[in-house]
Amino acid sequence: MNADLQNMNVTVLMGGDSAEREISLKSGTAVADALESAGARVTRLDTAAKGWHRDLPVETFVFNLLHGVGGEDGQIQGLLESLGVHYSGSGVLGSALCMDKAKTKLVWQSLGLPTPDFQIIDNHSDLAAVIDRLGSVFVKPVSEGSSVGMSKATDVSSLERAWVKAAESGVAVMAETLVDGDEFTVAILRGLPLLPIKITPASEFYDFDAKYVTGTTQFECPAPLNEEETAVLQ
List of domains in the chain: 9-97 (3.40.50.20), 100-177 (3.30.1490.20), 183-233 (no CATH)
What pLDDT sits at residue 145? 76
Task: Give the alpha-carbon dihedral of 52, 58, 59, 63, to 10 degrees.
Answer: -20
> 1 Cβ partners below 8 Å, 6+ apart?
38, 39
pLDDT mean values, one per 10 residues, the chain (234 residues): 72 92 94 94 94 91 93 94 94 92 94 95 95 96 81 95 90 93 91 93 77 83 94 93
* Listed residue (43, 44, 90) closest to 71, CA to CA: 90
R_g of the chain computed on alpha carbons: 20
What pLDDT sits at residue 227? 95
Q: Determine contact, residues 176/120, Cβ cutoff 8 Å.
A: no
Q: Determine contact, residues 76/89, Cβ cutoff 8 Å.
A: no
What pLDDT sits at residue 1? 42
**What is the distance between the alpha carbons of residues 232 and 27, in angstroms, rounded to a whole number?**
30
Residue 84 corresponds to which amino acid? G
What pLDDT sits at residue 94? 93
pTM for the full model?
0.79
